[in-house]
């Protein structure tokens, strides 16, 4: 890629969110309020972070928008799909994340965001029973309907570009199967033969987005774009893909704290993580098959930071356990407890306890903004396929496991990758290295 050949962010950017629940409505409301000057998009890297470009006398610290052409908040148009027909205003009130004073000023804009019928299969999320669902006989029909939705949305709202982001529930776990997921031809055949076991509804959204020229971001731990068939499609369509699972609370702590243990060369005997949450995400994850998808995602973080093969004395026998408990009284206020058993000089044991009382959607909303703006930027910069520089925002970053590649989960290394990509797209030297 030639440096600094990034198409400008002209015209409207459509952000089509799969799911119109707590996360999506908190995101939309915050953007609408921010552009009226009534709220601040705190937690967003694209709106607040400054990075160094140049060295020595040429050194400057600039916001991302002063390095690369990012879409402006004023140019964003929202669309959504959901199994429940309530508009974004009704859904935001129902979610009980934001106070009325932070929703009412943008009531009319939110009411105008009415969910399109979802491509949905109840077997993938048994706890959801909404009826705003497409009547599709096959998975391929789902794809065609979703492609039409994107085309119609683009035309109705006069959007130059669209990004599709998944902020819906966690599906049941679909393990990678070489017979169905290795090549694009196999995946298309499975969709056309209505193979419901190997083709999740989320795969239909991703396929539709990529073939319609839209970057696709997987915000749940679903096996969606995490298969070679989708990588092939992203290459073919020259579209960026990113995923999976928004890194909001406990895994953010883990990806930031585990490097402290590693850098200080302390030993790690065990890490027990448990969560309580009561929103719709918690309800869906109360189903064991859906929790397994999340568990696989959350368990992958630690072992790629504290590596047993590199330091067997320190990390050769880590006991890592993750639990999520559905607890309705908390709603969106998630609580994460981490008990970390470490050992130091001469093997003497010590403990660290972390109690993170967070707000799930408040932490997730800025991630949706950053991921959509940066995926749109990547597309205009001619970057396609897996966007590893977006790993910073994700619990279980995409990587080519068919070639033995490991994901980078260390938060500080992820931040270096992010900064380097911004520098590169801005025509500067990508001048930081990951050891």
The pLDDT of 7-16, averaged and rounded, is 98
* Nearest alpha carbon to residue 65 among 87, 81, 50: 50
The pLDDT of 233-237, averaged and rounded, is 98
Give the pLDDT of residue 2: 40
Domain spans in the chain, listed from the N-terminal domain onward:
12-246+362-425, 250-359
Q: pTM here?
A: 0.94
Give the pLDDT band (50/70/90) at residue 298. Answer: low
Give the pLDDT of residue 435: 76
CA distance linking residue 27 with residue 367, whole number of Å = 9
Give the pLDDT of residue 93: 98
Candidate from 126-135, 183-192, 289-298 with smallest mean pLDDT:
289-298
- Quote the percentage of the chain above a pLDDT of 70: 97
Give the pLDDT band (50/70/90) at residue 299. Answer: low
Tell me: pLDDT of 301 over 50.
yes
Candidate from 93-107, 238-252, 291-305, 361-375 with smallest mean pLDDT:
291-305
CATH number of 250-359: 3.30.360.10
Tell me: pLDDT of 201 over 60.
yes
Give the DSSP letter string of 288-348: HHHHHHHHHHHHHHHHTTS-TTT-HHHHTT-EEEEEEEE-GGGTTEEEEEEEEEEE-GGG-
CA distance linking residue 141 with residue 168, whole number of Å = 20
CA distance linking residue 298 with residue 292, whole number of Å = 10
Residues near 221 by Cβ (< 8 Å), separated by ≥ 6? Answer: 170, 244, 245, 293, 294, 296, 297, 298, 395, 396
Tell me: pLDDT of 291 over 90.
no
Give the pLDDT of residue 184: 98
* Nearest alpha carbon to residue 337 among 352, 356, 319: 356
CA distance linking residue 45 with residue 249, whole number of Å = 16
Give the pLDDT of residue 319: 96
Give the pLDDT of residue 1: 35
Tell me: pLDDT of 409 over 70.
yes
Give the pLDDT of residue 297: 62
Q: How many CB atoms lie within 10 A of CB 397?
A: 29
What is residue 365's three-state secondary structure? helix
Give the pLDDT band (50/70/90) at residue 4. Answer: low
Tell me: pLDDT of 90 over 90.
yes
Backbone angles phi, psi at 419, to 5 degrees: -60, -45
Please say whether the structural domain 12-246+362-425 has been given the CATH code 3.40.50.720. yes
Tell me: pLDDT of 339 over 80.
yes
Tell me: pLDDT of 139 over 80.
yes
CA distance linking residue 226 with residue 256, whole number of Å = 24
Candidate from 107-111, 355-359, 385-389 with smallest mean pLDDT:
355-359
Give the pLDDT of residue 54: 94
pLDDT digits (tens, 9 = 90+) for 342-355: 999 999 999 999 99
Mean pLDDT of the chain: 94
Cβ atoms of 150 and 164 within 8 Å: the answer is: yes
Give the pLDDT of residue 288: 77
* b/e per residue 330-353 (b: at least 16 CB within 10 A): bbbbbbbbbebbbbeeeeeeeeee
The pLDDT of 222-231, averaged and rounded, is 96
Candidate from 197-201, 206-210, 323-327 with smallest mean pLDDT:
323-327
* b/e per residue 125-140 (b: at least 16 CB within 10 A): beebebebbbebebbb
């Amino acid at each position: 890629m030639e440096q600094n050949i990034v198409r400008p962010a002209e015209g409207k950017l459509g952000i089509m969110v799969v799911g119109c629940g707590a996360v999506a409505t908190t995101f939309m409301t915050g953007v609408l309020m921010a552009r009226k000057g009534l709220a601040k998009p705190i937690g967003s890297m694209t709106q607040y972070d400054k990075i160094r470009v140049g060295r020595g006398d040429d050194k400057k610290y600039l916001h991302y928008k002063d390095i690369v052409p990012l879409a402006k908040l004023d140019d964003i148009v929202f669309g959504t799909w959901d199994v429940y027909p309530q508009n974004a205003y009704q859904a935001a009130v129902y979610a009980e994340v934001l106070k009325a004073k932070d929703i009412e000023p943008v009531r009319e804009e939110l009411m105008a965001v009415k969910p399109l019928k979802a491509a949905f299969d109840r077997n993938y999320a048994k706890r959801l029973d909404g009826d705003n669902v497409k009547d599709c006989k096959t998975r391929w029909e789902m794809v065609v309907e979703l492609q039409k939705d994107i085309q119609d949305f683009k035309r109705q709202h006069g959007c130059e570009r669209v990004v599709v982001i998944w902020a819906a529930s966690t599906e049941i776990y679909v393990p990678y199967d070489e017979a169905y997921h290795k090549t694009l031809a196999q995946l298309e055949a499975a969709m056309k033969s209505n193979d419901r076991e190997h083709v999740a509804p989320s795969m239909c959204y991703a396929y539709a987005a990529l073939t319609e020229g839209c970057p696709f971001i997987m915000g749940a731990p679903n096996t969606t774009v995490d298969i070679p068939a989708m990588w092939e499609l992203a290459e073919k369509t020259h579209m960026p893909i990113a995923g999976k699972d928004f890194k909001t609370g406990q895994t953010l702590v883990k990806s930031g704290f585990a490097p402290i243990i590693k850098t200080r060369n302390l030993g790690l005997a065990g890490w027990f993580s448990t969560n309580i949450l009561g929103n719709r995400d918690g309800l869906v994850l109360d189903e064991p098959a859906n929790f397994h998808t999340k568990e696989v995602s959350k368990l992958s973080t630690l072992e790629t930071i504290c590596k047993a093969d590199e330091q067997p004395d320190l990390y050769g026998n880590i006991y890592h356990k993750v639990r999520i408990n559905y607890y309705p009284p908390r709603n969106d206020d998630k609580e994460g407890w981490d008990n970390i058993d470490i050992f130091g000089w001469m093997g003497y044991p010590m403990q660290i306890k972390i109690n993170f009382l967070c707000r799930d959607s408040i932490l997730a909303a800025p991630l949706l903004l950053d991921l959509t703006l940066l995926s749109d930027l990547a597309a205009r910069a001619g970057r396609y396929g897996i966007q590893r520089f977006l790993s910073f925002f994700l619990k279980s970053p995409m990587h080519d496991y068919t070639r033995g590649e490991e994901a980078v989960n260390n938060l500080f290394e992820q931040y270096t990758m992010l900064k380097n990509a911004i520098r590169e797209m801005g025509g500067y030297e990508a001048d930081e290295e990951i050891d």
